Chains A and B, each alone.
Chain A
Amino acid sequence: MSGELTKAIADLEENEALRLAREKLDSGEDPKSILEESRNGMEIIGNRFSDGTYFLPELIYSAEILKEITEIIKPALKEDAQAKTSGKCIIGTVAGDIHDIGKDIVVFMLDVNGFEVFDLGVDVPPQKFVDKIKETDAPIVGLSGFLTLAFDSMKETVEAIKAAGLRDKVKIMIGGGQIDEDIRKYAGADAYGQDAMKAVSLAKGWI
């Protein structure tokens, strides 16, 4: 029954999830829909993380389960279906800031939701974002910053993208510590998010 796999993943029932994935594959179900169902499970996990039900270890565990499922269905997937389909994103913690736990969670949630994510790491100078946009043509940029003073770096990064003539080609979202609408305006970003699931829904809305 559809939804069982989603539920097994969402409840972190590893054996059950793997059994269901194999069973579905053996009964001839489209591997793409199995992948889709798995991603739905990941979305529930993301929401549970947002409301505190799940914590970091659960997030890591869910990633392992998803990886195993992907391994099972991989041989049956066509080349093109293996490719990330949702779109490209560039993510990084802005210059002056070295916090990466929140950023890593955003990268992870985008990744499991089918985005091809270019993670630039921490303390990323504006030019590095600009170069990566030119290199990958990614239409979405996520700037992370936990320190309040990182907001200046966000602003500088957005300005660097503008100066490079790329501002119209990308949507920019910001996130991190205590970000709100005023800071979004200050930084010149298109949107902000309080948690990783918001980053996913913003990114989906822009593709």
Chain B
Amino acid sequence: MKSYTIDFQPLGQRGECREKESLLDCAHRLGVGISSICGGRGTCNTCRVKVISGTLSEPTDSELEALSAQELGDGWRLACQAIPSSDCQIIVPPESMSTSQRICVEGLEATVPPEPAVIAYHIRLTAPSLSDQQADTNRLLEALNEQYQLPCRHIDINVLRSLSPQIRDWNWECQAAVRDDEVIAVSPWPSQQLGLAVDLGTTTIAGYLVDLSSGQTLAVEGTMNPQIDYGEDIISRINYVVKRPNKRAVLQKLVVDKLNGLAANLCSEVGVDVEAIVEMVVVGNTAMHHLLLGLPVKQLALTPFVAAAGMAIDIKARELGIKIAPGAYVHLPPVVTGFVGSDHAAVLLASNTHQVEGLTVFLDIGTNTEISLVNGQGITTTSCASGPAFEGGHIKHGMRAARGAIERLRITGDVIDFQTIDEAPPLGICGSGVVDAVAQLYLSGIIDDGGRLIDKHPRVRMTGNQAEFLLVDQTKQDGHPEIVLTQKDIRELQLAKAAIRTGIQLLLETNGFTEEQLGQVVIAGSFGSYLDLSSAVTIGLLPPLPLNCFRQVGNAAGMGAKLALISLAKREEGQAATFRSRYIELATDPDFKKIFIETGHLGRYWIKNNRREMLENG
């Protein structure tokens, strides 16, 4: 079989490309991070690379559509379409790299009395003798019963395998970690008992190393979900697995390896061995949950969107390939539906749902946005397809919230001020930047409340049939191109925000409430934390409540996972709330379309009787 050598610059990674393998597949196999929102179908235009030398397959229809003649002439290709036919040198531009995104790990710290699933007991055993030949294990179980009145029945096989030599080394004194009626680990007395809470997101993973006896967080780390190379959004990733069933194990292994790396990093930060972790809790959306467990995912993406497993799952970490204490369990709280995962349930838990006063909406904004309405004990949940615009997808110069992304923007007359992540030179615009830009264009009268670019502002121009607004001029340094916001970009944002506002409105309507009755809106998640609330209200993404009614709680899903790790009572509370919540499907609601059309409009307004009631800009 023929193969070629591909040199990926500026990373300097070099490797063999197999016959008929696309540049993207080759890059992923070699561990070169090229982003691919659509999962390699040639539709998203995010895997643009530049060919410096070598020959490749002729441009496909997708490439002819995505790239101009000049770009093609300059050597630009879509990595998912181009198949090398010789050795090649390729440049991966920064905007095509699936580089690390800013990850939100902080959230409101909640304090609960520690009441973990795994409890450590200090044990002293009497040494055996010829007159007392009882087995080591029985000796341990008997001691637990005698010293703590704990009738344990099981001992993990790994404990059995190591107990005898260890207990002799430790001179018949040890610490036994007990979960329900099973001894899952023994260690020298005294040792730290740690737990790991994980928020497994589609894009990012946040891990929290916690001392189970105090409930204190010892170390925190955020990292990218490595599955991102196989489709950035949930649907693309599900599709990838459905089309290539043999890859399910590959995706599972990727995330397991990453979790192992995360555990190792966190432990080395506090100077302990990963075996000190005796319990792990993982929350995530239903697709990530299923992919981690190796459950089928196809039915998640098809109506009526049903999860394969909906109960809480406790599984030995080793069965998933996760390397913590050999007998430890991973606990996965129940998911709500195919589109509402245990991460949203964790958000509700972290936000102390049962203590919420007044009518409260919880939002977790992403490609798929989960919304819950909480009123006293009642929880109604829905999810809406808000699309990738808030993550920079389907936006001409959009990008994820990574270095160089415009995240804040203000327009004063002809002057545009903006702030980029890490104050790096601008590479593109991320979700919070797009929201700001549209709000500013609207306030400046450059677009009308229907979202149309109307003004003859010097920065408004036509490219082909399409109007666009020039946000950033071309810069000479690095040859970075200019950054624009097109009329279509504005339409994408309008569709995305209309989906969310319609979701809020229909949840309220179903429960007999109006927007004005809302006491609080809690916004969780990474995008929600960096969102400018006043811009969000200006474009009608959120209802025009006083700004102090909104609470941006950061990574509440991670906080909820931590609570479920520290406290069994919280674990049960979260589970009860999940089973109590009522899910409603929006798309079939007869008012959906009317409200969707209304909420596509920009401006500050209430929705009343399915119509907008405009307020002054303020």
> Which residues from chain A sit less than 8 Å from chain B, CB to CB?
47, 51-58, 60, 96-101, 104, 123, 147-150, 178, 180-183
Contacts of B41 in A (CB 8 A): 178, 180, 182-183
**Is B580 engaged at the interface, CB distance under 8 Å to the other chain?**
no
Set of chain A residues within 8 Å of B486, measured between Cβ atoms:
52
* Alpha-carbon gap, A104 to B494, bound state (A): 18
Closest to A186 in B: B243
A149 & B587 in contact (Cβ 8 Å cutoff): no
Q: Whole-angstrom distance from the CB of A192 to the nearest CB of chain B? A: 10
Please provide the chain B residues from 476 to 533 with a CB less than 8 Å away from any CB of chain A in the complex.
Answer: 486-488, 490-491, 494
Q: Which of B43, B235, B467, B494 contacts A180 (CB 8 A)?
A: B43
Known: A149-B242, A180-B41. A51 touches B466 (CB 8 A): yes
User: In the complex, given contacts A51-B487, A55-B600, A181-B62, what are 19 additional A-B residue pairs having Cβ atoms less than 8 angstroms apart?
Assistant: A51-B464, A51-B466, A52-B466, A52-B490, A53-B466, A55-B450, A56-B596, A56-B597, A57-B450, A57-B597, A57-B600, A98-B587, A99-B587, A101-B596, A104-B593, A147-B301, A149-B242, A178-B43, A182-B41
A and B contact pairs by CB, cutoff 8 A, 23 listed: A47-B465, A51-B465, A51-B488, A52-B487, A52-B488, A53-B487, A54-B452, A55-B494, A56-B596, A96-B303, A98-B303, A99-B385, A100-B587, A147-B301, A147-B302, A148-B236, A148-B301, A149-B238, A149-B242, A178-B38, A178-B44, A180-B42, A180-B61
The 10 closest A-B pairs by CB, nearest first: A52-B487, A52-B488, A96-B302, A178-B43, A148-B239, A51-B465, A51-B466, A52-B491, A149-B301, A181-B61
Q: Is the CB of A180 within 8 A of B62?
A: yes
Interface residue B461 (Cβ < 8 Å from any Cβ of A):
no
**Is there contact, CB below 8 Å, between A56 and B600?**
yes
Interface residues in B301-354 (C-beta closer than 8 Å to A): 301-303
B588 at the interface (CB under 8 A from A): yes
Q: How many residues of B contact A (CB 8 A)?
A: 38
* Cβ-defined partner of A53 (8 Å) among B452, B588, B596, B600: B452
**Nearest CB of chain A from residue B227's CB, rounded to whole Å:** 16
Give the distance in Å from the alpha carbon of A121 to the alpha carbon of B133 in the complex.
77
Give the docked Cα–Cα distance between A44 and B544 (Å).
36
Q: Closest A-chain residue to B240, C-beta based?
A: A148
A56 to B62, CA, bound (A): 27
Q: Which B residue's beta carbon lies closest to that of A123? A: B303
| A113 to B281 Cα, complex, angstroms | 57
Q: Could you say which of A58, A101, A181 contacts B450, with CB atoms under 8 Å apart?
A: A58
Do residues B451 and A55 form an inter-chain contact, with CB atoms below 8 A?
yes
With known contacts A52-B488, A149-B239, A60–B597 Cβ distance under 8 A: yes
CA distance A180 to B38 in the complex (A): 12
Residues of A within 8 A of B235 (CB): 147-149
A126 to chain B, nearest CB (A): 14
Give CA–CA (A55, B596) in the complex, Å. Answer: 12
Which residue among B239, B298, B302, B597 has the maximum number of chain A CB atoms within 10 Å of its CB? B302
